[in-house]
Amino acid sequence: MLQMLNAFLTVQALHVTAALGIADQLTAGPRNIDDLASTTRARPSSLYRLLRMLAGAGVLREEADGRFALTPLGATLRTDAPDSVRDWALFVGAPEMWQVWGGLRASVLTGQSAFQRVHSAPMWEYIAGHADLGTAFNRWMTRQSNQHNSALVASYDFSPFRLVADIGGGQGSTLAAILQANPSLRGILLDLAQVVADPAPLMQAGVINRCEVLGGDMLEAVPAGADAYIIKRVLMDWDDEHAATILRNCAAVMPEAGKALVVEMLMGSANDPSPSKPFDILMLLNQPGGRIRTEVEFRALFTAAGLRLTRVIPTASPNSILEGVRA
């Protein structure tokens, strides 16, 4: 229990280490504390205490000569690591977010988003106006999406489709993975204009020539013409009314044989230590009405949108694929 209660110290230690770029500086090998302090402009004795704590947690290793080295766990804080979580460390420990986490009691009592109460603005609006926070968050969304995409592509056969629309698809990493794996497919990427302004994943994957990139609001309308509509880790941000609206907008323009593919975490069963449960608290804190839903709740949501849930397909990631057709 004391380890759990002291976990806030670990979060902040990881945030500060990420912000100082310590893991990047240790990529080439161990370095001494004076070296690291000079590079980061930190007080050597204080920096040593921070790194010593993380060595005790297995993130770093203190050598016999006093130098610090990265462990495989600590390597995930490198900017260029394939499984990097550095952007999440930058976001989750930022002062603006620390205020939000401190609002949990009020959110539990009222059911209202702590983010909006603390910052007087919805999360998406706030981070769009705060570049450091917004950049870290958007990079993490892309990074996390990349880490889940191979599991998605391996779990579902997209080859029968002609045109796939990724609704709320961020900078396009999921769509890029699908198009790379299916050379005959074309794609549409829809998200807010400021989000799709830099569809780097589509360009890096060499599939931008098979894509139409659109700035728009999925709550208003989605583009017609696709035979599959992917909605990946989007509905968790919305209450049932808005989530049903997004699905209904897809159903309205789907062809008769079209598919709606919702990619989300499913709420774990009672007493199951599923990552869906703490993630659900993140939704409570950050997004008005946002939640992680059970399969039963998704089935009701599909029905409300004029769709029928036909399959639930687990993947090797935390996500499942919920396939729906027009009812």
CATH of the domain at 60: 1.10.10.10
DSSP 23: H
Q: Is residue 68 part of a domain?
A: yes
Same domain, 49 and 113: no
Average pLDDT estimate for 278-290: 94
**Cβ atoms 136, 94 nearer than 8 A:** yes
Same domain, 63 and 139: no
Q: Is residue 43 part of a domain?
A: yes
Specify the pLDDT at position 82: 87
Same domain, 39 and 144: no
Q: Is residue 319 part of a domain?
A: yes
End-to-end CA distance of the chain: 49
Axis crossing angle, helix 7-20 with helix 44-56, rounded to the nearest 10: 120
Q: Is residue 313 part of a domain?
A: yes
Who's near 273: CB < 8 A, 6+ residues apart? none
Same domain, 138 and 74: no
Interval 63-117: pLDDT, tens: 999 999 999 999 999 999 988 999 999 999 999 999 999 999 999 999 999 999 9
Q: Does position 306 have pLDDT exceeding 90, yes or no?
A: yes
**Cβ atoms 211, 223 nearer than 8 A:** no
Positive or negative torsion for Cα 316, 317, 318, 319: negative
**Nearest Cα residue to 40 out of 54, 22, 24, 53:** 22
Same domain, 24 and 131: no
Same domain, 104 and 223: yes
Q: Per-residue DSSP letters for 75-116?
A: GGGSTT-TT--HHHHHHHTSHHHHHHHTTHHHHHHH---HHH
Q: Is residue 110 part of a domain?
A: yes
Same domain, 107 and 228: yes
Same domain, 115 and 225: yes
What is the number of alpha carbons within 13 Å of residue 112 lying toward its C-beta?
10
In three-state secondary structure terms, 13 is helix
**Nearest Cα residue to 275 out of 148, 94, 146, 111:** 148
Q: Is residue 205 part of a domain?
A: yes
Distance of alpha carbon 19 from alpha carbon 266, whole angstroms: 32
Who's near 162: CB < 8 A, 6+ residues apart? 184, 185, 186, 227
Number of domains observed in the structure of the chain: 2
Distance of alpha carbon 21 from alpha carbon 36, whole angstroms: 10
Same domain, 35 and 154: no
In three-state secondary structure terms, 260 is strand
**Cβ atoms 90, 136 nearer than 8 A:** yes
pTM for this prediction: 0.87
User: What CATH number should be reported for the domain holding residue 263?
Assistant: 3.40.50.150
* Mean pLDDT of the residues in the chain: 95
Same domain, 192 and 290: yes
Domain stops at, among 78, 112, 133: 78
Q: Is residue 84 part of a domain?
A: no
Q: What are phi and psi of 212, to 5 degrees?
A: -110, 125
Higher per-residue confidence, 138 vs 302: 302
Same domain, 162 and 309: yes
Same domain, 260 and 303: yes
Containing structural domain, residue 208 = 98-326
Q: Is residue 70 part of a domain?
A: yes
Domain stops at, among 78, 109, 134: 78
Distance of alpha carbon 182 from alpha carbon 75, whole angstroms: 32
Task: Quote the longest CA-to-CA distance of the chain.
Answer: 69
Interval 149-190: pLDDT, tens: 999 999 999 999 999 999 999 889 999 999 999 999 999 999
Specify the pLDDT at position 291: 96
pLDDT band at 138 (very low <50, low <70, confident <90, very high): confident
